[in-house]
Amino acid sequence: MNRFEHLLKPLRIKSMELSNRVVLPPITTMLANGDHSVSDANTAYMKRVAGSGAGLIITEVAAVHPDGIEGPGMLGIYDDRFISGLSSVVSEVHKQKHKVMVQIYHVGRESQYQLERGRAAAPSALAGIFKIAPREMNREDIGEVIHCFGQAAIRARAAGFDGVELHAAHGYLLMQFLSELSNHRLDEYGGNFRERSRFILEVIREVRSQVGPDYPISIRISAEEYAVGGYTIEDMLGIVHLFVEAGIDMIHTSFGTQASPGGMVCPTIEYQPGFNAQLAAQIKTVVDIPVIAVGRFTNLSAAEKTLARGDADLVAFGRQHLADPKFFWNALEGKEEATVECLACNQGCIERLYKGKGIRCAINPETGQELIYPERRSGKIRKVLVVGAGPAGLTAAFQAARLGHQVVLLEKEGNSGGQVRLAARAPYKDVYGRWIDKLTKTAIRAGVDIRLGQTADIDFIKKEAADVVIIATGARNIRPAIPGINSPHVIDAWQVLQGAAELTDHTVIIGGGLVGMETADYLREKRISNVVVVDTLLRSPVKKSNGHGYMLHRRLNEAGYQLWLETRIIKIETEQLTVEKAGEEKLLRPVRQVIFAAGSSPFNKLGYALEKENIPYHLIGDACRPRSILEAVEEGAHAAWSIQ
């Protein structure tokens, strides 16, 4: 018996037959051309992810109306001119012998781009996450959008898509009509929950009438709104059968909106793989059509269990496809340990998109950069010396070796990973350590000569006579000139995370950034009580709008930890701190231990020496400027790719 027998079982949905039950769900890439048509980057991205083996691929959202597109870089399907480009996407998937649907939508009020243009329309003139009220749609507007959904479905079929999915989740227009938080209408498109479903039902019927009886139509829903005053799964169970009666063939069961607390739409590492499959299971109790489960799935084993329990008929793997699209084949070949697990950090796939930038993956530099990713080995082998085995240095070393270069990687510490290795000791972040371990092993298999416990000075570099030097020496903690900062009871956060310090109650952490907050979370896990985190900023630098940040704040608050903002340390003494809080001097006591976690600066002494000797080099990662894993990995990859 195949241990993935449920996942590998074929499935027919109307005219579409799937070879397996693995789904790549829609992931916005922001790679479209300026006119919202499919770009070469879109096609290259789709070619790569389509090779993952997923039986069904659902492309990123395409807008049915010019005013329904969320912003620049996103796809349109509101005009016949888009058909040719969309056909190229279909072709790339069909070459891999899999099926592809396109997701179509209207953004409604949740677009700063449309709001600032004065073009945003919604069920009611109620502001959403961008705090600007949209225009309330009249009946003519409603009829036009319904018609546009039908025309978009016709174009999808003309482009060769095997089906179409309606996006009625995550707070976009279809869901806006459904939610009482965004729909206060008094006409037939308002009212109670069932009455508010009228708009969605009319869209479904219009699409069905345009594509005929055998063309598959899916709908992605937020089965539960996850917002104060929002609808619940019980509400959804009362109407979902209406979607089926109107013409839906498959239900893609997601959850939440962009306004839901804790970033639930893109769950972070605190959430277990498949944590929300229970919503799909409940939907299955009231419908007899295929149901897709979603919720931070990262491996086939968890997905197989979900299907074996009967909780769903298909399982969607979103961000895991970005981190390592080989996860499916690895599992089938019994090499699951080779798969790089998604960190659920959201740095490249979500946070960049909010900034209007193209998609990336923090740990896979190929994602979103398929057009420049070098696949062939270099025609000329170079000797490459990389200094520093953090994420930037490891990535540079592996990518250079992959391209055929002779690579030596030096690391002064006894293990690789740099500060990520320490960060992995914080609660829920062990996956970061596993990533570093796999990246290290991958680099060694590629031929990198990793020398731990060895430093590099200018004499060593001259002796090595490397053609290329890449400096990835990272950053170092900095301590401000505060009286008492060098007292015996003042330690660094890294000492705490290394397990090199004895912990005690009544501790103050200086620095409320991610390092400080995660150090506090580490203390919470160790059951340390009476902890205060102080920061000079007016607002916490760890934003609650970020899923991991939200969970951090919640856990520390539940533990009784205090966060003192607008607080400057004046003096550190035995058992007490003198601080200035909001312009007023205060005494904080008792204080048995002070943990410093307030900033770092680039460590680049070697670069200065190389400049004096006129030796060219690449400076990457925190050695250039302290930032996130995303920048470290991307700069490491680019340094390797640039070697001539």
Query: Are 13 and 164 in contact, with CB atoms under 8 Å apart?
Result: no
Pairing of strands 575-581, 567-573: antiparallel
Alpha-carbon span 136 to 143, nearest angstrom: 14
Q: Among 45, 78, 105, 172, which one carries the catalytic annotation?
A: 172
**Residue indicated by tokens 């966060």:** 563
Residue 116, classified by CB atoms within 10 Å of its CB into exposed (0-12), middle (13-18) or buried (19+), is: exposed
Residues 6+ apart with CB under 8 A from 245: none
Q: CA 218, 221, 223: angle at the middle one, nearest 5?
A: 135
Determine the Cα–Cα distance for residues 589 and 575; give it in Å rounded to an integer: 6
Following CA atoms 617, 622, 625, 630 in sequence, which dihedral angle do they give, to the nearest 10 degrees?
A: 100
Residue pair 573/580 in contact by the 8 Å Cβ criterion: no
| Residue 137: φ, ψ to 5° | -70, 135
Tell which residue, 509, 521, 347, has the closest CA to residue 429.
Answer: 521
Q: Sign (positive/negative) of CA torsion 561, 562, 568, 574?
A: negative
CB within 8 Å of 298: residues ≥ 6 apart: 273, 317, 320, 327, 341, 342
What whole-number distance in Å separates Cα of residue 420 and Cα of residue 416? 9
Place of tokens 């939610």: 179
373 part of the active site: no
Whole-number Å distance between alpha carbons of 312 and 585: 59
Look at residues 199, 49, 70 and name the one whose alpha carbon lies nearest to residue 124.
199
Tell me the two tokens of residue 554: 């919640």
Quickly list DSSP for 386-443: EE--SHHHHHHHHHHHHTT-EEEEEESSSSS-THHHHHTTSTT-HHHHHHHHHHHHHH
Active site residues: 172
